[in-house]
Amino acid sequence: MRRLKWLVDINDYPMQDIDIEKFNSLVVYFRAGRIVGQANNLLEKFFNTEMLSPGNKHIPGYLIRFALRSINSEVPQEQSTFDILCNYRNLWLMFPGFYYKWRTLTSMLYRPGDIQLVDSSWKIAYYLYRPYSFLKRRVLHL
């Protein structure tokens, strides 16, 4: 149930203190309609309530199913390749826009802290090796 903590926090937030026009403008600015819609769907399912802003009412069903599957499953010690890819698919589809999708893809392949740990003048090799090592470890299981 620890995966529901964020939803409990939203449910318990004093919504009457929110400037709804400002909130809605931020939802539009950050293109967060899907994530607000997903939160509302989950709030309705678990608490029979919703946020003041409806967000996007018509979000794809797989975004809701992914969230419910994540909430209802045990927290694994190590994620399977399939789980990792499902998680990135969810992240990829949650927000529109090329820049967001590009950041999601690069964060999957390259971790910013890792390059700082490389003590070599050949740091460029990390950028070439990292996608290969991901495929080798996760897809080919070598």
20-33 pLDDT, tens per residue?
899 999 988 988 88
Its domain, for residue 24, covers 2-77
Domain count, the chain: 1
Residue in 91, 90, 131 with CA at minimum distance from that of residue 110: 131
Residues above pLDDT 90, as percent of the chain: 5
Angstrom distances, CA of residue 27 to CA of 32, 53, 56: 5, 9, 10
pLDDT exceeds cutoff 70 at 2: no
Query: Does residue 51 lie in a domain region?
Result: yes
Query: Does residue 121 lie in a domain region?
Result: no
35-79 pLDDT, tens per residue?
888 888 889 999 998 876 776 777 888 888 888 888 887 776 777
Considering the chain, what is the average pLDDT of its residues? 80
Torsion of CA 119, 140, 101, 2, to 10 degrees: -90
Query: Does residue 67 lie in a domain region?
Result: yes
Helix axes of 61-72 and 81-94: crossing angle, nearest 10 degrees:
130
pLDDT exceeds cutoff 60 at 142: no
pTM of the model: 0.67
pLDDT exceeds cutoff 60 at 4: yes
